[in-house]
Structure 1
Amino acid sequence: MSHNTPPRPRTYVVWLLTLLSPGLGLVYAGRLVGGVVINLFVVLLMLFVVIAVTFWNLVLAWVALAMLLAWAMIGLLAASRADQLLAETSSESRRAFQHPLIYTLIALMTFVGPVAIVVDQSLRHLWTFTHVDNLALYPLALPGDTLFVRRVPAHIAPPRRGDLVTLVTPETGAPATLRVIAEPGEEVQMQGNTLIIGDKLVDYTPLMHEWVGQAQLNNALGLRAWVEHNHAQRYVVAISDEATPDASVPGLALGPDDYFVLADNRSHLATPEPRASLTADSRLYGPLPADHIFGRPVHIAWSSAPESGTPRFDRIGLPLH
């Protein structure tokens, strides 16, 4: 005597679908609304991460890691619940949701599509990343660092003296991160390491102890770190002990929309013949128009040693100021 027993639900399918989309396992178990809610909840969680990183200056790497852990936990709970429901739900009630096209549409409309939109719009309008491949920002940033940059055009929030800005280099169109030394309407004079803004001589003092950890100095480079006193602003710059840069800026008057920007490493001086290893600044191309500034670096998003690729976890999250 034969008995027609219903096929045993394949529980591994639940875990596979949950891996693709956190609520898809519940859909397989016959809970369409529950699966959609789980998917949209994870999307909202990602949107919260975008807001937190953009407006609260949280470190992207650690917030993203926390979100991935939360995502994994939600998926684990959803898959466990779906696994239980398989034993309680009849095959007839699940049959309506067991077509691959149904899973594809639900995943695309409630998870993959919204996540792609959030990531795309964040990178288009809110964030970008720039990679450091030279010593222009030494000692604040090192080769191998990747900077997290908030997109803030100068016409929306004009940068102030001492701010780091990410810009499009006028002559090459390449992105670069430099420091604002003088603001619109000011006059700049520079000869070697002597800098005069308006009628004030910019002063230098030895690096204070509390800055050393941030700067991560390398004595082998032959560069000495100093604190530059530019009006009321203070920031660290690097000056060579051996050579003075052959740069002269005689009485440059900035226009109403112009900035004077320099590399923190003052011995890092590009030449009129562009080289990939050097970043040009206002000593080469003069005033920087405000419309060339498109962002402000916030922190180091990732760092790895250029030679070996070994991650430098101690540098991730260091603020840039």
Structure 2
Amino acid sequence: MSLNIRKLAAENKGFLVFLFGMVLMRSALADWYLVPSSSMYPTLLEGDRVICDRIAYDVKLPFTDVILKHVAEPQRGDVVTFASPEDGVRLVKRLIAVPGDVVEMRNERLIINGVEANYQAIEKDAGHLTPLREYPAQQLVFRESLGAMQHEMIVMPDRAAMHTFGPVTVPPGQYMMLGDNRDNSKDSRYIGMVKRELITGQVKRLLFSLDGDRYYLPRLERIGSSV
């Protein structure tokens, strides 16, 4: 049995080296991630495959959370992937606040360090901003702006969710994450702040996207698009 395994490994050494290199690359340099829900709608759609830059902020020891070198500082507004501090499941959310920020929310309106975000209403039928079918009640889409952080987001005022919280201070070495689908996202309001070593990368671009409502046909307009 062991001889057969050694023979098989010797005959496929090139493929095994390639396979190990791919796994190493995904662990240390770049990875892709399937968006499984609408928690980041309208920025990310269910069925999007996003590219994750694993060395955007830190160089880590492969297959671990051990940081070898800081590359850059995570910024407010970045879309990031991270291991949930609750159960280790990988999530993708927007980084809303950095260490030392004082954050609160009042009736869906975000306030950071005493400055309230500006909200500009957007029509839901603009581009891909179609109403989410899984939630038939009121859905409101806005462009949320606070300093350099500007992005589209959605609220569902009638849905049972944490519309108000804080103020809370983000601890040293930790970050607050929120979903752009504010009332349908399990984020830092529920799972707590995220330590830097749990951040697995930054998402800047889509790889491709499949539409589950249309027999998983590709969304051609989203192939390679920026986030």
Instruction: Provide TM-score, normalisation by structure 2.
Output: 0.78
- Out of 186, 189, 197, the position equivalent to 2:104 is 189
- Corresponding residue for residue 126 of structure 1: 29
Within 1, Cα distance between the matches of 2:146 and 2:166? 18
Q: Contact between 2:49 and 2:206, CA under 8 Å: does it hold in 1? A: yes
Out of 34, 40, 45, the residue aligned to residue 142 of structure 1 is 45
Q: Cα distance 1:115–1:286, how it changes in 2: closer, same or farther (>3 A)? A: closer
**2:217 maps to 1:310:** yes
* 4+ residue segments displaced more than 6 Å: none
CA deviation string 1:157-189 (max 9, x = no partner) = 221011111001110110011111111111111
Could you tell me how far apart the structure 1 residues matched to 2:147 and 2:177 are?
A: 15
**Contiguous gaps of at least 5 residues in structure 2:** 1-8, 59-69
Structure 2 residue corresponding to 1:258, chosen from 142, 149, 174: 174
Where does the alignment leave 5 or more consecutive residues of structure 1 unmatched? 1-103, 270-279
Q: CA deviation at 1:119?
A: 2.2
Q: Aligned AA for 1:134?
A: S
Amino acid at match of 1:199: G
C-alpha RMSD of matched pairs (Å) = 2.6
- Is 1:199 aligned to residue 111 of structure 2? no
Q: Distance in 2 between matches of 1:192 and 1:283?
A: 14
Per the TM alignment, residue 220 of structure 1 is displaced from its structure 2 partner at its CA by 5.1
**Structure having the larger proportion of residues in strand:** 2
Quick check: which has more Rg, 1 or 2?
Answer: 1
Counterpart CA distance in 2 for 1:219 and 1:112 is 46
Greater relative contact order (Cα 8 A, min sep 6): structure 1 or 2? 2
From 78, 83, 86, the counterpart of 1:171: 86
In 2, the alpha carbon distance for the partners of 1:120 and 1:287 equals: 29
* Residues matched between the structures, number: 201
Task: Provide the residue aligned with 1:300 in structure 2.
Answer: 206
1:232 to 133, 148, 153: 148
1:284, 1:219 → 2: CA distance? 25
Structure 1 position 196, deviation (Å) = 1.1
Check conservation: 1:192, 1:245, Cα contact below 8 A: no
Q: Which amino acid aligns with 1:219?
A: P
